[in-house]
Amino acid sequence: RYEKLWTAAALLLIVGFIATVTYGALGPGVTMVDDSGGTIDSGSLGETQFGDPGVTQTGENQYEVHVVARQFLFQPGTGSPIRVPANSEVTFYITSADVVHGFEVAGTNVNVMAVPGQVSEVTVRFDEPAQYGIVCHEYCGAAHHTMAGQLVVV
């Protein structure tokens, strides 16, 4: 008598898993650089906004930050910290100039892949002044463990 119930419950679980996996694959905004839907050659990053990466104000309390990851640094972030004001909404656009890297701002929900030829997008609010460490969380070569940077909310 309960068999049907269990079967239904099991089916529901399976559907749930599939939905979760699908969301994981498609949900977080990973978009191509150009509108035609093609990939870009990492060598032509200079022709995009990644040619001059950094912080751009796009609204009263809104900012965009373009970051290029490469072995073994974030530009900006590693040499000079990324600086954004407190009480702002910041959208990060992350790509890689060489191999796959990670871009994680420790202590925030910012945790994306930096993939050559693709742009990862993530938005976060910063209410208070603070300092955050940025780490590469994908193995990217011999000096992977040294690949880090800083984000300063002023």
> By C-beta, is 72 or 92 nearer to ligand CUA?
72
Q: How far is the CB of 74 from ligand CUA (least distance, A)?
A: 8
Does 89 bind ligand CUA (CB under 6 A)? Our answer is: no
Does 147 bind ligand CUA (CB under 6 A)? Our answer is: yes
Distance (Å) of CA 120 to CA 5, 12, 13, 73, 95: 42, 32, 30, 17, 7
- The dihedral through the CA atoms of 123, 107, 146, 79 has a sign that is positive
Does 106 bind ligand CUA (CB under 6 A)? Our answer is: no
Contact present, 75 and 67 (Cβ < 8 Å): yes
Does 140 bind ligand CUA (CB under 6 A)? Our answer is: yes
Residue 54, sorted as left (phi over 0), alpha (psi -120 to 50) or beta, turns out to be left
Secondary structure letter of residue 51 according to DSSP: G
Work out which of 111, 117, 138, 152 binds ligand CUA, going by CB under 6 A. 138
Q: How far is the CB of 32 from ligand CUA (least distance, A)?
A: 21
Which among 2-10, 21-29, 59-67, 135-143 is the span making contact with ligand CUA, rule CB under 6 A?
A: 135-143
The owner of tokens 């049907």 is 4
**Interacting residues with ligand CUA (CB under 6 A):** 72, 101, 136, 138-140, 144, 147
